[in-house]
Amino acid sequence: MNAQVVVVGIGGDGWDGLDEARRRAVRGADVLLGGERHLAMIPGEVAAVREPWPRPLLPGLPTLLERHRDRRIVALASGDPLVAGIGTTLITALGRDAVTVLPAVSSVALARARMGWSAESVAVLRDHRTVARELFPGRRILILSADRHTPAEVAATLTAAGFGASVMTVLADLGAPLEASDRSRASEWAPGDEAPALHVLAVECAVEAGLDDGHPDNDDDNAGPAASHPARRLGMVPGLPDEAFESDGQLTRRDLRASALSRLAPGYGELLWDVGAGAGSVGIEWMRAHPSCRTIAVEANPARAERIGRNAARLGVPALEVVRGRAPEALEGCPRPDAVFIGGGGTAPGLVDLCWDALRPGGRLVAHAVTVETERVLLDARAELGGELTRFHVEHADAIGGFTGWAPARAVVQWAAVKPFSTSVEEIS
């Protein structure tokens, strides 16, 4: 497709808010593409053919653009078309040189202006289901809401996490004559309440008084599962408390998890295979490292696979993909990974070799062994592929009658290796 497209950002104030450059682009169009709301903002004197976006958008977009290949196309978009907008989609489809973007003020910029928040002090989320990974007292969040129900869903997440005191501001119809805002605490938002269709949600995070503040000295050792600590502050570095995960005991423990993730070294946009995922803790923390990180968690046990999904959703990484099945067969067809963690199933014939071969150059593989049989596999892998072996002996203070002593956990052997880069063009690609 060689179509040349001009993308014009338009605000809630419609035609009146367009500067001369954007008006000139619209007047000169043969075809106007956009949502029905945006097309209705353009006065009737503009003679261009008006076409709404196809539904679904991505499958229908190539046909639409091909149909108007030799015509002057202007696409209308809300605010800044490169902020979660159609501008990015068109550049991906047509190439950077085929698309010109004339932005308006984005809804994010307008929301920050209304709230008085600087850009560097705000997290901007496209998916409200990821809000859980941003919950820190004093954190400021702007959510590009999906629909009228988004504030209610966010309020439920905040309240369940002990952040019901957070102030939510619904900023509706930003830049339009009917612009409005509504503020309330998350705990005050009723599940059935709806917001205006077009809005940005601003959240000022605050912990409810009297709930656990996350300090380890305030923990009750007999308090039970994670739900007993709803306001526990979860850090941004690897090694979340074990209690943050729902588990049947098949869990990579905190100290070992932190060590594994430091060697897996999550990077921008990278994919992890979490093999024998158990509770999914390593893959979840990989994704919490950066919003662009992705995980495929492979787990043979159906109950554990469902539990991984629940843990991922509660901890703010709902996009984690769970593959039910036993490795290595379950890995067939999975995208090539940047890192692999083998937490279980290490004795499966050919598993380590398959994972190593699948790794991209520069990729990292970390495997844990608690049995002699798996340890033998890792010793052989190190002899063939190099890397480092570490044996962990972790002890925790525990009661011995009226005294305190050290209770040792089972020793764990960790093998970590980095796949060398190759000069082969085929392998690098």
Instruction: Examine residue 241 and state whether it is found in any structural domain, yes or no.
Output: yes
Residue 177, preceding peptide bond in cis (omega within 30° of 0): no
Instruction: Look at strands 388-392 and 412-418 and give their pairing.
Output: antiparallel
Give CA–CA dist 66/74, Å, rounded. 14
Last residue within a domain, chosen from 161, 182, 204: 204
> Looking at residue 236, what is its pLDDT?
86
214 inside domain: no
Average pLDDT over residues 317-342: 97
pLDDT band for position 377 (cuts 50, 70, 90):
very high
If asked whether residues 197 and 292 sit together in one domain, one would say: no
Q: Is 74 exposed, middle or buried (0-12, 13-18, 19+ CB in 10 A)?
A: buried
Per-residue DSSP letter, 25: H
- Among 154, 182, 204, identify where a domain stops: 204
Do 328 and 384 fall into the same domain? yes
Report, as an integer, the average pLDDT of 205-232: 52
CATH label of the domain that carries residue 83: 3.40.1010.10
On the question of pLDDT at 2 being above 70, the answer is no
Residue 209, in any domain of the structure: no
Are both 336 and 395 inside the same structural domain? yes
User: Is 221 contained in some domain?
Assistant: no
Q: Judge if 289 and 341 occupy the same domain.
A: yes
Instruction: Tell me what pLDDT residue 374 has.
Output: 95
Domain boundary among 105, 132, 149: 105
Instruction: Name the phi and psi angles at 31, rounded to 5.
Output: -135, 130
Whether 215 is covered by a domain: the verdict is no
Residue 353 predicted with pLDDT over 90:
yes
Same domain, 355 and 367: yes
CATH number at residue 295: 3.40.50.150
Are residues 254 and 343 located together in one domain of the fold? yes
Domain assignment present for 225: no
74: containing domain: 5-105
With contact defined as beta carbons under 8 Å apart, do 67 and 87 qualify? no
Q: How far apart are CA 88 and CA 33, in angstroms?
A: 15
Residue 228 lies in a domain: no
Same domain, 16 and 78: yes
What are the pLDDT digits (tens) for 282-294?
Answer: 999 999 999 999 9
196 is a domain residue: yes
Q: Which residue has the higher pLDDT, 225 or 283?
A: 283
Q: What local confidence, expressed as pLDDT, does residue 209 receive?
A: 74
Distance, CA of 301 to CA of 326 (rounded, Å):
8
- How far is residue 383's CA from residue 393's CA, in Å, rounded to a whole number? 23
What pLDDT was estimated at residue 84? Answer: 85
Strands 31-34 and 49-52: parallel
My answer on whether 175 and 94 are in the same domain is: no
Does 232 have pLDDT greater than 90? no
pLDDT at 153 over 90: yes
| Phi then psi dihedrals of residue 201, to 5 deg | -105, 125
Measure CA of the first residue to CA of the last residue in the chain; give whole Å: 25
Q: For residues 281 and 383, state if they share a domain.
A: yes
- 209 vs 336, higher pLDDT: 336
Examine the domain organization and report whether 314 and 391 are in the same domain: yes
pLDDT reported for residue 140: 98
Q: Which pLDDT does position 226 carry in this prediction?
A: 37
* Residue 261: pLDDT over 70: yes
Beta bridge partners of 416: 366, 388
Average pLDDT of the segment spanning 57-82: 93
Per-residue pLDDT of 92-131, as tens digits, reads: 999 999 999 999 999 999 999 999 999 999 999 999 999 9
Q: How confident is the model at residue 3 (pLDDT cuts 50, 70, 90)?
A: low
Split into its structural domains, the chain has a count of: 3
What's the CATH number where 150 sits?
3.30.950.10
274: helix, coil or strand? strand
In this predicted structure, the answer to whether residue 90 has a pLDDT above a threshold of 80 is: yes
21 and 129: one domain? Answer: no
Is 90 exceeded by the pLDDT of residue 216? no
Residues 199 and 319 in one domain: no
